[in-house]
Structure 1
Amino acid sequence: MFKPFLLCAALLVAAGTVAQAQGPSTGGPAPGTPPAATDVPLDGGASLLLASGLVFGLKKLRQRRQVAR
């Protein structure tokens, strides 16, 4: 039981000595700068998801009304 514990402890110590932290970042773009061409708007995907949920809900309502008749 002592050998597996010793092996795990040795691996954790070895991993800790090899790990390095990231350097300081730039903090992002300055306020007032135009967005980059790679920025993706979240509105397009959210509106498509909302529209598809609405269509699916209407389809289910129509199916439920036809079964009730």
Structure 2
Amino acid sequence: MTIQNRRIFASILFVLISFVCVGQVDLPPPSPPSPPPGFPIDGGVIFGVLIAIFYGVRKILFSSGNSNK
């Protein structure tokens, strides 16, 4: 082999080896999907329970008062 042929062979070999090295890179695993948007249940439930209790007590007091008359 002449020196010119060896340089071409070495250049081709270098390019092919670099492609193999780039192909071996491990990518990080994909991130997990974000959770779906939730429905916040916090202060509204307490407010609803208080209104329900108030309504129930009021209904019981006024219904018992009307039945005695």
TM-score class normalised by the smaller sequence: 0.3 to 0.5
Which of the two has higher C-alpha Rg? 2
Given the two structures, how large is their TM-score scaled by the length of structure 2?
0.42
TM-score, structure 1 normalization:
0.42
